[in-house]
Structure 1
Amino acid sequence: MKKFNSAATGILFSALGFIPAQASTPVVFTVDTSRTHQKIDCFGASDAWSMRFIGEMPQQTQEDVARLLFSREVDSNGNPEGIGLSIWRFNIGAGSVEQNDSSHINPHTRTECFLTPDGTYDWSRQAGQRSFLHLAKKYKVPRILGFLNSPPVYFTKNGLATNTGRDGTYNLKEDKYNDFAVFIANVVTGLASHEGINLDYISPVNEPDGHWNWQGPKQEGTPATKYEIARLTRILDKEFQSRGIHTRIIIPESSDYRCMMSVHQTGPDRGYEIQSFFSPDSTETYVGNLKSLPRLIAGHSYWTNTPVEYMKVCRKALRDTLKKHNVGFWQSEVCIMSNDEEIGGGHGYDRTMKTALYVARLIHHDLVFANARSWQWWRAAGGNYKDGLLYQYKKPGSKSDTIVDSRLLWTLGNYSRFIRPGAIRLEVNREGTTDSDGATDPDGLMCSAYRNTDGGYVAVIINYSDEDIMTDIRGLGYGIWNLYRTSDEPEERLRLTGTTQNLESIMIPRRSVTTLTSGGIKAE
């Protein structure tokens, strides 16, 4: 790998982002390594729904996709080959595929179910998704999570995996809670015995508090009250404990941060989730004493991203509520939605930095202001909507799909590739400000810093503005630092732009994300 030493030579390396100190006054960030915040568990994405199909494409196509998502290798020029996701979300299906058109669900978002009508299990199902479980294992992705959008159709009140024609209660028959827990446990043990795949986590419900109640043909899903979630979680924990299953249960995958700390567009039976699940005073819903349940709550970063000022306010309120009840937090799903008007809403895929920067700003706010321990995107691959890290489409006249990367993929990689499980977020301040949460100009520079378990440091700097901005980073000492950049420049897809022995006079180009790592990055 060719290295450049700007500190030693004083030469201008414009490609690396270094400029002479006298050219302008730098923005100064100071990292306080003695003041630490949350531990980072993982960064990830899910296999819904595209991996059902991509996982049955030619093996080379699958390998190419897996490399982009999971690899931590570097090429001959030192550029990362992939974004090194550290958690992979596997959608455990409810059986809408087997129902065909009677499922009331779009053909592209249906799922198969391992359970058959006669009560036996068919482990040949979900073949495409299982293929990517094995690819994740091949690349040593450290965590696998199984999530369910609906119970199997054999257990639901309306016989469907969608809530069409129902109210805001759980679409699970009263006498099927135990059967559902057994099904989940059987999937955990079945994947282990038949596939050699261990599920580290199970998420049994998904967006149960959504005011839309999961009606319509789009996808599998069901609402649930917090009382129903608590009932299921207790039964599932009992099943896991009786069978010696060490998989952890993650709940409730809330649709909106406001439902986690208060009530939003629904009733109190689907609100105050932090307090309800983790305060012993909430006797009907308290599950904080269950052995299978970490003191951790999962929620989705939808609907609270605009206006920009509210994004910070909402996350600080969430952080304060979490702190009061001593609960950790995972941001476990998000994509672009209709309210994200700054980038034109969700329709129409965008491979550029326009969407990538918008998401980078969101990642920064979730990590810095909500103290998220994990940050997970929705779909690993998608079609003509801003919900996939990869874009899957069909060229005119072609019989097969084409899958291409995006700046969104690589921008997530600015975090996921370098901030590894167990890293600790460090306090960052900007000279001239008094914001103890770190330096955040949502229209300019945003900086966060981390210390990995091997002692190496990582700093991620977003430049949301249309101007190049010079910066100094203080508090991390000297040594060999690598710089990796994602921008709309043709080759800048998490590209190694060079190395330096100090962190002074570093130019952060307009509309870009730059990651600085100490000690270099070695292929694993």
Structure 2
Amino acid sequence: MRPPRKALLAAACTLAAAALTGSALAPAQAATAHRPAPGPASARVWITTPDGTRTLSDAGTVDFTDAPSTAPTVVVDPSRTFQTMAGFGAAITDSSASVLSALDPQARTAAMRSLFSPTSGDGLDYLRQPIGASDFTDGPAYTYDDLPAGQTDYSLAHFSIAHDRARILPLLRQAEQLNPHLQILATPWSPPAWMKTGGSLTGGRLIDDPRVYRAYAAYLVKFIQAYRAAGVRVDTVTVQNEPQNRTPAGYPGTDMPSWQEAKVIEQLGPMLRAAHLDTRILGYDHNWTEHPNDAAATPPDETADIGDYPQQLLNSPAAAYISGTAYHCYYGDPSAMSALHKQFPTKDVYFTECSGSRSADPANTFSDTLKWHTRNLVIGATRNWARTVINWNIALDPAGGPHNGGCTGCTGVLTIGADGTVTRNAEYYTLGHLARFVRPGAVRIASTSFGTTGWNGQVEDVAFRNPDGSTVLVAHNENDNPQTFAVREGDRDFSYTLPGGSLATFVWKDDGSAARGPQQLDPTGWSATASTSSTTDVAADAVD
């Protein structure tokens, strides 16, 4: 994994349909002659500012009125629905388990409650769990079937999850006790070395042998079964983390071309069914776009995968067993997920990893992370069909460790000091603005958005409808100056002035009459173009 870009991305991106959207939805031109029975009376507001002076602070309520606003207006339209959300979270890596376990029991329980409790914490409910070692491992790399060089174990007689019993599994069980809605996505960084060319956990690929494909698929099934026997349910699995990262920097990693991943999944799918396991399989688990360094190192038998790995996989026979595709944030932009959804609309999209990273000036880390993660994950990923938003390490020490190779500037959701101090980082609040309010089973609904993932100084947003009928709108002011905008659902509006760079969540519930008011235009068939002197501006910065 690579730390995400911290610099602001492209300047203004112009939607070809922007003029149409503005004229069709402008408040002064909306029909106002007849208004039905009142809709929602008020919305509750929670806000986080980039200077950290307000962090998920309850800002009270803002009233809906019948008077249309002259400010740019976000029209929320529950009649147009998109993906059902699966959850939000991060990863209890071996490193995270190390620093959490070092806390005294009372402090550890408080930290876990702040992360997972739906009533007194963030309510995180989807975890990414490494299968064996990753770059964030507090000690030597390992798998669950390590053998001396030259030996093999096709029957997996030596398989054991003993490594995880001391620290990782107790934390996972505690997380599920705190939040019964918790789901887990499990991902390996490397198969056991005896299955690989080169005989190392770092680099190489699976040996092209039917015995190896069967053994590796069985290895993943045994992991799921062993975790279930230990009290932890694995809901989703991928077969390789970042399969196009062929040169991991000193940590476990595997070059797995799409044709090999397909062979593993063609074994894994039937094995899961035979074992009566309903664990879903996701494919790919890598960046929105292939990193140029990875593309440059592509072997001759993988050239078809360049910029096309998920498509190759979903066009293979293995697609019969694949529920969806998993993405990371370290190169490209979220629009890749919408492009894939358009090609394969019956397959889900998951966003499964993004680490925060320290800014060049550490004093700016909170602000930079809040803004980048909000634009690209909280709003960018969800507006591009992602069912999950999952960060990387849930907790690290102040130096961004412990780790074994890999990222040297990564940050966790929490920072835990040697003296037991626990600091909530910007990631805690970006995730919280979703997880605290968007309930299990919520559906994303249509909403006007003026901002872009590439930053254009406007207000960007995403909206959801909860199973209880409440509406959640998450909005971000991309400008450094305060901006006033309006929100309309049905025939009622409220106006709000959002401080510069701030993130806010609005929650309200209506009586059902709001759906009779103005609705959004369906943008099917619209396209985006970029028109600017900037060489970095791209149409893909559009959020939809």
- Matched residue SS, 2:169: helix
Change in CA separation of 1:46 and 1:65 when aligned onto 2, cut-off 3 Å: same
The alignment's C-alpha RMSD in Å is: 3.5
- Residue 449 in 1 paired to residue 463 in 2? yes
Change in CA separation of 1:67 and 1:184 when aligned onto 2, cut-off 3 Å: same
- Matched residue SS, 2:227: helix
Question: One-letter code of the match for 1:512?
Answer: S
> Which residue matches 1:470?
484
> Which residue matches 1:484?
none
Q: For residue 18 of structure 1, report the CA deviation from its aligned partner.
A: 6.0
> Which residue matches 2:88?
43
CA contact (8 A) 2:93 2:136 kept: no
Question: One-letter code of the match for 1:241?
Answer: R
Q: For residue 302 of structure 1, report the CA deviation from its aligned partner.
A: 1.4
Higher relative contact order (CA 8 A, sep 6+): 2
> Which residue matches 1:199?
234
TM-score (norm 1): 0.72
> Which residue matches 1:59?
105
Q: For residue 367 of structure 1, report the CA deviation from its aligned partner.
A: 3.3
> Which residue matches 2:177?
138
Query: Partners in 1 of 2:176 and 2:233 — Cα distance?
Result: 9
How do 1:219-238 residues align onto structure 2 when only pairs under 5 Å count?
A: 219-238=251-270
Query: Partners in 2 of 1:382 and 1:173 — Cα distance?
Result: 39
Deviations along 1:254-283, one digit per CA (max 9) or x if unpaired, are 234358xx978745243312321222xxxx
CA contact (8 A) 2:42 2:63 kept: no
- Matched residue SS, 2:319: coil
Change in CA separation of 1:476 and 1:55 when aligned onto 2, cut-off 3 Å: farther
- Residue 187 in 1 paired to residue 223 in 2? yes
- Residue 120 in 1 paired to residue 158 in 2? yes
Q: Percent identity?
A: 22
How do 1:79-478 residues align onto structure 2 when only pairs under 5 Å count?
A: 81-93=120-132, 108=138, 110-115=140-145, 117=147, 119-126=157-164, 127-139=166-178, 140-163=180-203, 166=204, 169-170=205-206, 175-193=211-229, 195-210=230-245, 213-217=246-250, 219-258=251-290, 266=298, 267-271=302-306, 272-279=308-315, 285-290=316-321, 293-294=322-323, 296-304=324-332, 311=333, 315-316=334-335, 318-326=337-345, 327-336=347-356, 344=359, 352-367=366-381, 369-383=383-397, 384=399, 385-394=409-418, 400=419, 402-429=421-448, 442-475=456-489
Query: Partners in 2 of 1:61 and 1:145 — Cα distance?
Result: 26
CA contact (8 A) 1:299 1:333 kept: yes
Question: One-letter code of the match for 1:70?
Answer: F
Of the three residues 502, 508, 515, the one matched with 2:498 is 508
Deviations along 1:160-198, one digit per CA (max 9) or x if unpaired, are 2211xx4xx4478764222222221112111212x2211
Query: Partners in 1 of 2:327 and 2:478 — Cα distance?
Result: 26
Query: Partners in 1 of 2:42 and 2:335 — Cα distance?
Result: 39
- Matched residue SS, 2:320: coil
Query: Partners in 1 of 2:207 and 2:248 — Cα distance?
Result: 11
Change in CA separation of 1:173 and 1:51 when aligned onto 2, cut-off 3 Å: farther
Runs of 5+ in structure 2 lacking a partner? 1-40, 44-57, 148-152, 400-408, 511-544
Q: For residue 360 of structure 1, report the CA deviation from its aligned partner.
A: 0.5
Q: For residue 362 of structure 1, report the CA deviation from its aligned partner.
A: 0.8
Deviations along 1:216-270, one digit per CA (max 9) or x if unpaired, are 32x22111111110011111112212222221112220234358xx978745243
Query: Partners in 1 of 2:273 and 2:335 — Cα distance?
Result: 36
Deviations along 1:268-314, one digit per CA (max 9) or x if unpaired, are 243312321222xxxxx331222xx31x111112122xxxxxx4xxx
TM-score (norm 2): 0.70
Change in CA separation of 1:106 and 1:464 when aligned onto 2, cut-off 3 Å: closer
CA contact (8 A) 1:43 1:87 kept: yes
CA contact (8 A) 2:288 2:336 kept: no
How do 1:486-497 residues align onto structure 2 when only pairs under 5 Å count?
A: none
Runs of 5+ in structure 1 lacking a partner? 8-13, 74-80, 97-104, 280-284, 305-310, 338-342, 395-399, 479-502
Query: Partners in 1 of 2:490 and 2:417 — Cα distance?
Result: 44
Change in CA separation of 1:506 and 1:155 when aligned onto 2, cut-off 3 Å: same
Change in CA separation of 1:413 and 1:468 when aligned onto 2, cut-off 3 Å: same
